Structure 1
Amino acid sequence: MKILVIDGHPLMRSAIKREVKDHKPQARVTLAGQLEEAMNVIENQSFDMTIIEIGIPGGSMHTIREMRMTGRAGKILVYSSMSEATYALPAVSSGAHGFLSKDGTGDELRIAIDMVLESKTYFSKTIQESLLSRVIANVDASDHNPLQTLTPRERLVVHLLLQGNKIRAIAEMLDLKESTVSTFKANVFKKLQVGNLVALSEKMEMLR
C-alpha cells in the first residue's frame, strides 16, 4: 500500500506519517511539502491514497480535481486546518473522498483512512447535519412539487446516491442499516416514479 502525504509543515508531515505507519505498518509513505513537488511525484508513480492539506500554498478545490484527473493519486482524504464547515462539502464535491479537520483525534484520522480506503466517503457528524440542512433548503416549496413528498432523510439519501455513493457507504455515513437505506431508496423511487439512478438524476434536475 502506497500513501502520499502533502502538507507544508515538516513537523505535521512527520506526525501524519507516524500516525499512518502506526495504523498501517505495511504502508509505504511518501512525503511532499509543496504542490509542485507532489504533482511531480504523482507523475512518476501511483498511490492508493493521498492525504492532503488544501491550505498549502496554491491549494484549492481545483487541486483536488486535478489530482483526480491524473488517475494516480488514489483515494483523496483532505486533512486540513481550514474550516470544516466552509470547505468540507466543496472538497467532497470536487472529488475528495473525505474531509477531516486537524482538530480531530488520531483515532478519527484512522477511521477516516479506513473508510476512504474502503471506497466510502468520510465526513463528521457536523457536516452530515450541514448537508441535511442544505438539501432541505434546496427543496422547492411548491405544493405541486413531488419533492415535497420526500422526508428529510430521503432527500439526504437521494443527495448521497447522486454523488455516486453505494448503499453500504451511505449506511456507514448515516449510522443506519443497509436495509434501512435500501428502503429509503425504494420509497424515493416510488414517490418520484423512477426506476433507476439515471432517471432519478433527470427527475431531480427537472424538479429543482
Structure 2
Amino acid sequence: MIRSRQPDIIILIHSGYDEQVYALPYIKAGANGFLSKQASHEEFKAALKAVMSKGKYVSYQVQQILLNTIKDNNFGKVMNPITSLSPNEMRVMQLLTEGKWTKEIAAIMNVKENTVSTYKRRIFNKLDVVDSIELSKKVSLLKQF
C-alpha cells in the first residue's frame, strides 16, 4: 500500500515478530528488508546500509532457511506454518478466525470443548501466537502468500 503511493520509498521492517515466519511475506509485499529487534547494533547498521543502497536485507538465519528450502524444493511449507496444521486444527483455526468461541466450535464439529481447547493450544504453539486476535492477524498475513 505504501509502495503504491511512493514507489521509491525504502522500507526496512524492524520487528519483534519471528523473522523466520514474517520476513518473506514482508519482502514479497514490497519491503526492502526485515530485521529482528534482537539483532545486534552491527547487524542493524548492515541492514540500513543494504537497503539504503537499493538492496534487500534479511538475516543470515533467514538466508539459510531460504537456501535450504530452495535446495529441498519445499519453499511454501517451511515459510508458512499453516501447512503444519492437521485437518482438524485447520478447521478450528478457520472457525476461530471467524470469531467463533470454543463452545460454538465444539458444537459445530460435534466434539467436546476440551478437544477444541487442545486443538487451540496446538494451533497457538505451531503458529507462535498467544490469542485469537493475534492468530487472525497472522493467518491473514500468511494467507496472502
Q: TM-score range by the shorter chain?
A: 0.3 to 0.5
Higher relative contact order (CA 8 A, sep 6+): 2
TM-score where L is the length of structure 2: 0.47
TM-score where L is the length of structure 1: 0.34
More strand by share: 1
More helix by share: 2
